Amino acid sequence: MESPLTNISVAKRPVSADAAVEGNTTGGVGIEGRASGTGEATATAGALDGTFALSGTLTVTGDVKVTGTVDSAFLKKLRSKFIGPDPDNQVWPSDDAVDDEALAASEFIDAFRSLFMLREDGVPPPAGAPGSAKQLIKELVDETGWPAFNELVAVPAPWNTPEKRDGFRRYEISSAVDVLMRVYHMKGAAAGGEPTQLPPDR
């Protein structure tokens, strides 16, 4: 079963130095070999969205901590909508928004308000200028029917129960702001020659 977790960091101690982590890939991360003994190691898998394969024996003594964000069909579609098919030629933000902090801030506010008011009060998201965050959110909602509970934007288990799924939709709103910040940083950082990832990926 696919894991809904992404940006996962797994810290294990103590483990031996010969523990090998192969990956940081989308679609699966493999740990091969034997881990035992003393020392510390941190295994980080970026965008884990598939299977976690273990070959051999893994012995962990001590603390194991898994942290990350929960991905969903809606957040994946949001990410794809704002980045577009070519990460080197992002749909959003516009060059104007990258150069104008006040404009960029208003786009963040527009996106949050559109999702929040739709989820909380049933207000349809307004249209915006072509390529703006407001317009992209409207298009995404029109395409998926979010926040309705349908197959296009299904809530992942174990949050898909009637008692939890409304809260998960609110989680998606807060996560959408995080997605937009990462996309915004990608474009501005790439133009300046900086690393394009933010923690915990970076």
- Give 49-72 pLDDT, tens digit per residue: 444 555 666 666 666 555 567 999
pLDDT at position 175: 96
CB 182 within 8 A of CB 198: yes
Same domain, 11 and 102: no
Task: Among 3-7, 71-75, 129-133, 194-198, name the one with the lowest average pLDDT.
Answer: 3-7
Across the beta sheet with 41-45, the strand order is 41-45, 5-12, 64-70
Same domain, 46 and 86: no
Is 42 within a domain?
yes
Residue that is written with structure tokens 């174990």 in the block? 158
Token pair in block for residue 129: 């200028």
Work out the number of other CB atoms within 10 angstroms of the CB of residue 6.
Answer: 20
pLDDT, average across residues 101-119? 97
What pLDDT band is residue 125 in, cutting at 50, 70 and 90?
Answer: very high
| pLDDT above 80 (res 40) | no
- Would you say the C-alpha torsion 76, 79, 81, 83 has a positive or negative sign? negative
Same domain, 78 and 61: no
pLDDT at position 44: 43
Is 202 within a domain?
no
CB 34 within 8 A of CB 18: yes
Is 15 within a domain?
yes
Task: Among 67-76, 99-108, 145-154, 167-176, name the one with the lowest average pLDDT.
Answer: 67-76
Same domain, 113 and 176: yes
Q: Which carries the bigger pLDDT value, residue 90 or residue 3? A: 90
CB 159 within 8 A of CB 165: yes
| pLDDT above 60 (res 2) | no
Residue 131, Ramachandran bin (φ over 0: left; ψ between -120 and 50: alpha; else beta): left
Q: Which amino acid is at 95?
A: D
Q: Which carries the bigger pLDDT value, residue 37 or residue 131? A: 131
Q: Which carries the bigger pLDDT value, residue 180 or residue 20? A: 180
Separation of alpha carbons 131 and 168, rounded Å: 27
Same domain, 90 and 142: yes
Q: Which amino acid is at 64?
A: V
